[in-house]
A = this chain, B = another copy of it.
């Protein structure tokens, strides 16, 4: 089921070669994207011949996908490492937002590569990739909301799958907004230049937004005379 994008030779390669190749690949692909990145340059940066790269991977695309897989694993570790436990959704959200803000520094390349995935055309690869990248959060959020509904922490009049989607949408876009060119400019346009120096503003406002969205039911409006 789970597709592999590398040849057998890659598994036999030494740890040093594998990390060198993946590091250089992630570096270049995250900066330039699949199309613009240059295999010859990546090989040179990795201290490896082009020929060897093509002993490890059939095509440039396969190499790219392997880099993506690796980067997503690390990104997941960073993000999910912060959000373990059985925190309530708002605590979880706050930890996620702060993790996102932190990640936008040194580890920005992983987020950038995440963003590059959304650009890959050709629906064949897209479907496979999405499952690998978003599969976990989709399932996690969905089940989390369901359980929270049962215990009364979250409004019961909502579709858990849809609300998981909205939640993920806001956090995913937030990630891009802290690291990727276009989305950074967009955030600045909406919230001003200084938004990147005022992390707490984002945290409190997004939490306010999410808290209300997840807490109050449609009928509460009448009961509350709004």
A residues near B (Cβ < 8 Å) are 32-33, 35-36, 117-123, 126-127, 129-131, 134-135, 138, 142, 155, 157-159, 161-166, 168-170, 172-174, 180-187, 189-192, 201-202, 205-206, 208-218, 220-221, 224, 226
Contacts and interface: CB of A to CB of B under 8 A. Distances in A.
Contact of A164 (B135, B190, B212, B215): B190
A185 to B, nearest CB: 4
Contacts of A164: 190
Contacts of A185: 123, 126-127, 129-131
Given A32-B121, A212-B212, A224-B220, A126 B162 contact: no
A118 B116 CA distance: 10
Given A126-B182, A216-B220, A224-B224, 13 more contacts: A33-B35, A121-B181, A123-B181, A127-B185, A129-B185, A162-B209, A164-B190, A165-B191, A168-B190, A173-B173, A209-B213, A212-B214, A215-B226
Given A190-B161, A206-B166, A215 B215 contact: no
Contacts of A182: 117-120, 126, 129-130
A208 B33 CA distance: 37
A161 B174 CA distance: 15
Contacts of A180: 118
A138 B35 contact: no
A70 to B, nearest CB: 19
B209 A163 contact: yes
